Amino acid sequence: MAPAPDSRPILVTGGAGFVGANLADRFAAEGRTVIVYDALARPGVERNLAWLTERHGERIVPVIADIRDRDELTRTVREAGAVFHFAAQVAVTTSLTAPREDMEVNLGGTLNLLEALRARGEAVPLLFASTNKVYGGLPDVALTLAGDAYLPEDARLRERGIGEDRPLDFHTPYGCSKGAADAYVLDYARTYGLPTVVMRMSCIYGPRQMGNEDQGWVAHFLIRALRGEPITLYGDGRQVRDILHVDDCVAAYRAALARIDRVAGRAFNLGGGPSNAVSLRGLIAHAGQLLGREIVIETGPWRPGDQRYYVSDPSRVIEALGLERPLSWREGVAQLAGWLREWVEVAPSTEPLPRRQPEAVL
Ligand SMILES: NC(=O)c1ccc[n+]([C@@H]2O[C@H](COP(=O)([O-])OP(=O)(O)OC[C@H]3O[C@@H](n4cnc5c(N)ncnc54)[C@H](O)[C@@H]3O)[C@@H](O)[C@H]2O)c1
């Protein structure tokens, strides 16, 4: 007989944020109760929470609290059937000016969550959003310029992207705090048998992203372009990233939960892969075409930790989780531009994260 479906709530830390709100929406649409645990630390995310509660009513249970609040977190975790952990200090820039706070939120908050789960003594799945920054700047990858984009000289790497076997090389305080949290999450699977999974994510984009200069560059570029404002490129703009639409990202997390028995204890690189790789200049050119206007580019110096090239090899995550082919970046960006057109009208200005500083990292 098949096991009864789990009716306990899903806990989404950072559930008012971009990825968290999209995931919460999917579960609530299926009738699941979703606890949204969020300190509303990122300006603008309260609009995502309002959107969720408007759509789903009592199926969304907001807990407005900090991930560093151990007591509140431990209480909340007791009810959960599965946990998705997105709450984080998300900007490399902020981590450079406030490394201790970055560590306390990203590493300390994750440890709080792991300990709250361990205290339960049950196998409650935990899915954690890590980052490609755990692989560092990839200084040994020889690059060549192809038009407006850096590409690896190595044909195999160009074709496949960066795999999970790449050595870890934490860089910047954000890279260190997320990387250390990533290691703890994997080790709690090994040492304590917690069913955990780590997703080392490339750039995710899509609706509900409050993109600004510090984080969320695809949305940020589109917002600036829609407002007719110049875009500042730090470095030469030929940096290449693989971008993934948030619907595909959410599908991967949901698939990981559905297959937790098979994938617990593993880390995956989650991104759009080589077929969804684009340089910053390439994305701006596409945005210009979509919006039918010339976009003014300004430039600034290279920023710490900025990879000239990062494209994930998504073959392992696709195979392990049985994922569909992701939405093509051109289509996804056009869709996001459509969503942002309306959003930009209701949001008068791009709100920066607290303590913004000029050398942001994408
Ligand atoms: N979006 C991307 O491209 C990307 C790429 C790699 C990794 N990630 C990781 O994915 C996760 C989600 O990213 P996102 O783009 O949705 O970011 P986001 O900023 O939209 O969401 C993060 C949420 O966490 C909340 N938060 C911040 N500090 C908190 C605290 N101390 N206590 C409780 N809540 C707090 C914020 O209010 C926000 O709602 C993050 O962990 C991020 O590091 C994102």
Q: Does residue 1 fall inside a structural domain?
A: no
Is residue 2 over pLDDT 60?
Answer: no
Q: Is residue 266 within 8 Å of residue 320, measured between CB atoms?
A: yes
* Residue 235, domain member (yes or no): yes
Q: Give domain status of residue 3, yes or no.
A: no
Q: Supply the range of the domain harboring residue 331.
A: 8-361
Distance 34 CA to ligand 1 centre (A): 17
The answer to whether residue 4 scores a pLDDT higher than 80 is no
pLDDT band at 306 (very low <50, low <70, confident <90, very high): confident
Confidence of residue 359 (pLDDT cuts 50, 70, 90): very low
**For ligand 1, atom 15: residue with the closest CA:** 18
45 CA: nearest ligand 1 atom: 39
323 CA distance to ligand 1 centroid (A)?
23
Ligand 1 centre distance from Cα of residue 93 (Å) = 14
- Please state, rounded to an integer, the average pLDDT across all residues of the chain: 93
Q: Which of 40, 52, 90 to mutate to test the pocket of ligand 1 (most atoms within 8 A of CB)?
A: 90
For residue 349, what pLDDT band results from cuts at 50, 70 and 90?
Answer: low
Which residues are part of the catalytic machinery?
174
Residue 120 lies inside a defined structural domain of this protein: yes
C-beta neighbour count of 155 within 10 angstroms: 9
Burial (CB < 10 A; 0-12, 13-18, 19+), residue 228, is exposed
Question: What CATH number does the domain containing 310 carry?
Answer: 3.40.50.720
Query: Mean pLDDT over residues 308-334, rounded?
Result: 97
Note whether residue 262 is domain-resident.
Answer: yes
> Can you tell me the distance from the alpha carbon of 297 to that of 18, in angstroms, rounded to the nearest whole number?
26
Instruction: For residues 134-138, give the mean pLDDT.
Output: 95
Q: Quick one: pLDDT at residue 325?
A: 93
Nearest CA residue ID for atom 11, ligand 1:
86
Residue nearest (by alpha carbon) to ligand 1 atom 28: 88
Give the position, in ligand 1's atom list, of the atom nearest the Cα of 20.
16
pLDDT at 67: 98
* pLDDT tens profile 217-238: 999 999 999 999 999 999 999 9
State yes or no: pLDDT of 186 exceeds 90: yes
Which residues is 269 bridged to in the sheet? 200
State mean pLDDT over 251-268.
98
**Which tens digits make up the pLDDT trace of 154-181?**
999 999 999 999 999 999 999 999 999 9
Q: Domains in the chain: how many in total?
A: 1
Residue 2 is assigned to a structural domain of this protein: no
Q: How confident is the model at residue 213 (pLDDT cuts 50, 70, 90)?
A: confident
Give residue ranges with CB within 6 A of ligand 1: 14, 16-20, 38-42, 45, 66-68, 86-90, 105, 109, 129, 131, 178, 201, 203-204
* pLDDT tens digit sequence for 56-103: 999 999 999 999 999 999 999 999 999 999 999 999 999 999 999 999
pLDDT for 51 equals 97
CA dihedral 73, 77, 82, 84 (to 10 degrees): 0
